[in-house]
């Protein structure tokens, strides 16, 4: 399990499998909600995006990520764990750049907390991307 | 009093500045903004916020020696 919210390069299926085991020991967690953000091969000015290059203000991002998790946990009483990882560096189209997992007692808070985590990441995490063609 | 401030550039601001980090002499963030615009006029066209020592500034204020100011264009994670 990683303690860092930022990982270099794409989020691999190995890391996702590892994160998916989160809460396996917790038999009160009846609901697990996940979100995967993947790089899209958008067309910009007639050119296809081959990859995105992510950069981050690392120190601030780690601090903000911990704060996002704290806020989500305090907003949803049924939530048991919240975790996410975000890529830095180059991630090719089709590859995963963001993975969120939330466990909760029941589905309602699991799904809503996952969505809120995503929205807070978009709003609060100091991460930038540059299109590579 | 003017102090040496470390400025960190991110996102499109880093492309404009052409570097990840630069030093400025400024006594407050309002002056620092002016110096940034003077040195990198294209920054006038960029929407950005400043973070002082890792915390986003809500209003301009004094700067002290060894402060680190980050120039943050709109975030684009996910």
Mean pLDDT lowest for which of A33-37, A47-51, B1-5, B15-19? B1-5
Q: Which residue in A60, A63, A125 is closest to B77 by CB distance?
A: A125
Chain B positions touching A39 (Cβ under 8 A) are none
Q: pLDDT tens digits for B20-55?
A: 999 999 999 999 999 999 999 999 999 999 999 999
ipTM of the complex: 0.92
Q: What share of chain A is helix, strand, coil (3-state, %, to 5)?
A: 35, 40, 30
Hey, is the C-beta of A55 within 8 angstroms of any chain B C-beta? Answer: yes
Of the pLDDT bands very low, low, confident and very high (cuts 50, 70, 90), residue A1 is very low
Residue B25: CA atoms inside 13 Å, Cβ hemisphere, count? 2
List the Cα angle B34/B36/B39 in 5-degree steps.
110
* pLDDT at residue A24, as a whole number: 86
Chain B positions touching A118 (Cβ under 8 A) are 78
Chain B positions touching A54 (Cβ under 8 A) are 77
Q: Which residue in A63, A98, A128 is closest to B10 by CB distance?
A: A128
Q: pLDDT tens digits for A8-61?
A: 999 999 999 999 998 788 999 999 999 999 999 999 999 999 999 999 999 999
Q: pLDDT tens digits for A84-123?
A: 999 999 999 999 999 999 999 999 999 999 999 999 999 9
């Amino acid at each position: 399990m990683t303690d860092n919210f930022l990982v270099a390069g794409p989020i691999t299926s190995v890391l996702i499998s590892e994160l998916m085991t989160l809460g396996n020991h917790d038999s009160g967690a009846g609901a697990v909600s996940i979100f995967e953000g993947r790089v899209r091969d958008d067309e910009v000015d007639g050119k296809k995006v081959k990859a995105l290059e992510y950069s981050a203000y690392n120190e601030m991002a780690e601090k903000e990520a911990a704060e996002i998790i704290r806020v989500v946990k305090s907003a949803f009483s049924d939530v048991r764990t919240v975790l996410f990882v975000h890529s830095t560096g180059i991630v090719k189209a089709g590859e995963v750049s963001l993975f969120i997992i939330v466990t909760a007692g029941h589905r309602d808070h699991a799904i809503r907390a996952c969505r809120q985590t995503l929205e807070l990441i978009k709003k609060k995490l100091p991460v930038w991307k540059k299109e590579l063609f | 009093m003017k102090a040496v401030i470390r400025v960190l550039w991110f996102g499109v601001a880093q492309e404009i500045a052409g570097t990840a980090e630069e030093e400025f002499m400024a006594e407050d963030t309002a002056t620092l903004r002016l110096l940034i615009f003077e040195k990198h006029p294209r920054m006038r066209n960029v929407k950005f916020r400043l973070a002082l020592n890792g915390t986003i500034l809500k209003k301009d204020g004094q700067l002290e020696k060894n402060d680190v100011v980050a120039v943050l264009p709109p975030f684009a994670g996910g």
